[in-house]
Structure 1
Amino acid sequence: MHSKQWHVDLFLSEEEGSTHARARLTTGAAKTLDAEGTARLNPSDRDVPEIGDELAAARALSELAHRLLEVAAGDIEGVTHEPVRLER
């Protein structure tokens, strides 16, 4: 059995009613992928910072997953020399 460990770091910041998240995946093959997500507070909503964190983080992680799928599709095309379409 062979196991690997990849790391995802999630950085959150808040500024003037917006929460910004940056997700970074580092693989054992020295690949790094970055993605971002933002959440904005609706002026009529109560300010609950945890909700902004959750939304921004979820959006960044979703984008990171999409980018990883694109990398996998490119790697498959490099091996098979045929177009690949991966479902999201």
Structure 2
Amino acid sequence: MARAAKWTIEVALDENGDTTRAQVRLAAAGGAVFHGIGLVRGGQRGVHLPAIAAELAMARAFSDLTEELLEAVASDIESAVPGAVAPVPARA
């Protein structure tokens, strides 16, 4: 039988001069909270395109959130089943 769970996500976007910052907060049903932050500073050759900067900052924030969530999942699996998560080889 499937379990229903409600997770809440909050998104904030700030622009200050040529810096755009996105923040994503994910609150899990069990009380855990995860955060992602994405920054975009300036543009090439001094060109700043706010709409594109906002999209890129959001993409970076969600990517950051994804990494944090995946780390938590790996930790939870390792706690539940020691040795279940193989170490990730270092990049050359």
Q: Same fold (TM over 0.5)?
A: yes
One-letter code of the match for 2:24?
Answer: A
- Return closer, same or farther for 1:14/1:42 CA change in 2, 3 Å cut-off: same
- 1:36 paired to 2:33: no
- 1:54 paired to 2:55: yes
SS state at 1:44 partner = helix
How many correspondences in the alignment?
A: 87
4+ residue runs of structure 1 moved beyond 4 angstroms? none
Segments of structure 2 that go 5 or more residues without pairing to the other structure are: none
- Contact 2:8 2:26 survives alignment (8 Å): yes
Aligned position for 1:73? 74
Following the alignment from structure 2 to structure 1, what is the Cα–Cα distance between the partners of residues 87 and 12?
A: 28
One-letter code of the match for 2:81?
Answer: T
Deviations 1:29-55 (A, max 9, x none): 000011211012215364331111110
Question: 1:73, CA displacement in angstroms?
Answer: 0.3
Sequence identity (%): 31
Aligned position for 1:6? 7
